[in-house]
C-alpha cells in the first residue's frame, strides 16, 4: 500500500478519539440539591458552570475573585448572570463551592486536574416529591399577591426572588371581558409555578348609574368550559356608579387538585352579583392551553 495512503488511514482513529475526548469535556446534569457535583478544574483552562436562570449567591472556601487575594481557585461571576467560571491556582488544590439558585443550595466539589471539564450545563428536572401537593395557605396566597404588587421593584433589585414566576403584561392592550353594564380588564397575570397559582391584576369598571354589589370570593374565572373561583382576592365588593376599581384575584389548584393553566389562555371574568341578575355578554369558548412542563 502506498505509504502516504497508509499514513492518512492511520490518522483517522486519532482524529475520532480527539473529538470524543472533547465531547467528554462538556457535560449536562440534572439539578439535584441532594447531589454533590465533582468538578475537575485546571490552571490552564477555564471551567464554566451554567444554571437555567440567574444565580442568587455563591459561597466557598479558599476562593478568590481577583486572583490577587490568596486562594486555591479563582471564580468569575457577574451579578445577575446565570453562570460562573473557575480556574485552579495551585497544584492538587481542592475545595467546595455552594451556589444558591431558585431558593435551593447546590454543592460542588472542586479539585485541580490535568483533565478538566470545560463546560457544565445544569438543567431543571421534575419535582422529586411524590406527595400530593397541598393548596397554598391563605398567608402564602397573600404573599403571592404582595409579590405581584412588588413585581417591578423585584425585577430591578431582587431578580432571584422571581425565580419560578412567569409574567404576562397586558397593560397596553388589556384583555377585556365585556359584561354589559360592567367590564373586567385583565392588565397583568403572574404564574407562580411552584405554587400552581396564578395572580390576576384586574380593573373592574361600572358603566351604570347605580352601584354594583358583588361577592369577590365568588368571582368566576372562565377558561373554555372550565370555571374557577378565587382562592383569595383583594377586591372591593362595591363599585360606585361610573367608577373603576383595581384589585387582585388568585387561582390555585382546580377540581383535580391542580390547574396547570398557561398564561396564554383566554380568560374571562364574571362578577357574582348581589343584585338581580342582568344580561351579560361572554366570548365564545376556546380550548384550554396547559402550562408548559418544567424543563
Question: Does this chain's domain 25-123 share its CATH topology with 138-270?
Answer: yes
Name the class of domain 138-270.
Answer: mainly beta
Question: Distance between the two ends of the chain, CA-based, in angstroms?
Answer: 54
Which residue ranges make up each domain of the chain? Answer: 25-123, 138-270
- The CATH number fitting domain 25-123, selected from 3.40.50, 2.60.40, 3.40.630, 2.40.50: 2.60.40
Distances from the Cα of 92 to the Cα of 73, 75, 288, angstroms: 11, 17, 57
pLDDT in tens for each of the 295 residues of the chain? Answer: 555 444 444 444 444 444 444 557 899 898 988 899 999 999 999 999 999 999 999 998 889 887 778 889 999 999 889 999 999 999 999 999 999 998 899 999 999 999 999 999 998 865 544 445 566 788 999 999 999 999 999 999 988 888 889 999 999 999 999 999 999 999 999 999 888 899 999 999 999 999 999 999 999 999 988 899 999 999 999 999 999 999 999 998 755 567 778 899 999 999 999 865 554 455 554 556 666 654 4
Nearest alpha carbon to residue 279 among 129, 204, 179, 206: 179
Reported pTM: 0.54
Amino acid at each position: 500500500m502506498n505509504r502516504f495512503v497508509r499514513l492518512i488511514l492511520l490518522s483517522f482513529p486519532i482524529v475520532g478519539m480527539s473529538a470524543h475526548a472533547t465531547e467528554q469535556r462538556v457535560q449536562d446534569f440534572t439539578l439535584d440539591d441532594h447531589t454533590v457535583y465533582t468538578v475537575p478544574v485546571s490552571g490552564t483552562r477555564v471551567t464554566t458552570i451554567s444554571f437555567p436562570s440567574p444565580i442568587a449567591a455563591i459561597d466557598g472556601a479558599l476562593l478568590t475573585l481577583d486572583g490577587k487575594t490568596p486562594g486555591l481557585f479563582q471564580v468569575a461571576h457577574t451579578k445577575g448572570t446565570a453562570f460562573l467560571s473557575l480556574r485552579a491556582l495551585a497544584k492538587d488544590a481542592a475545595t467546595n463551592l455552594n451556589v444558591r439558585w431558585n431558593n435551593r443550595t447546590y454543592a460542588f466539589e472542586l479539585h485541580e486536574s490535568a483533565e478538566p471539564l470545560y463546560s457544565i450545563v445544569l438543567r431543571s428536572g421534575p419535582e422529586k416529591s411524590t406527595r400530593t401537593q397541598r393548596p397554598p395557605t391563605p398567608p402564602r396566597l397573600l404573599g403571592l399577591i404582595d409579590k405581584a404588587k412588588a413585581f417591578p421593584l423585584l425585577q430591578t433589585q431582587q431578580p432571584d426572588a422571581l425565580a419560578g414566576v412567569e409574567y404576562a403584561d397586558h397593560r397596553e392592550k388589556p384583555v377585556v371581558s365585556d359584561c354589559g353594564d360592567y367590564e373586567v380588564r385583565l392588565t397583568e397575570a403572574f404564574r407562580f409555578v411552584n405554587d400552581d397559582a396564578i395572580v390576576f391584576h384586574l380593573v373592574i369598571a361600572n358603566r351604570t348609574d347605580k352601584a354594583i354589589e358583588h361577592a369577590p370570593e365568588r368571582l368566576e374565572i372562565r377558561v373554555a368550559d372550565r370555571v374557577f373561583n378565587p382562592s383569595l382576592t383583594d377586591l372591593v365588593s362595591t363599585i360606585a356608579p361610573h367608577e373603576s376599581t383595581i384589585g387582585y384575584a388568585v387561582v390555585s389548584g382546580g377540581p383535580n387538585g391542580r390547574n396547570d393553566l398557561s398564561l396564554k389562555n383566554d380568560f374571562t371574568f364574571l362578577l357574582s352579583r348581589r343584585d338581580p341578575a342582568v344580561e351579560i355578554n361572554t366570548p365564545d369558548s376556546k380550548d384550554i392551553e396547559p402550562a408548559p412542563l418544567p424543563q
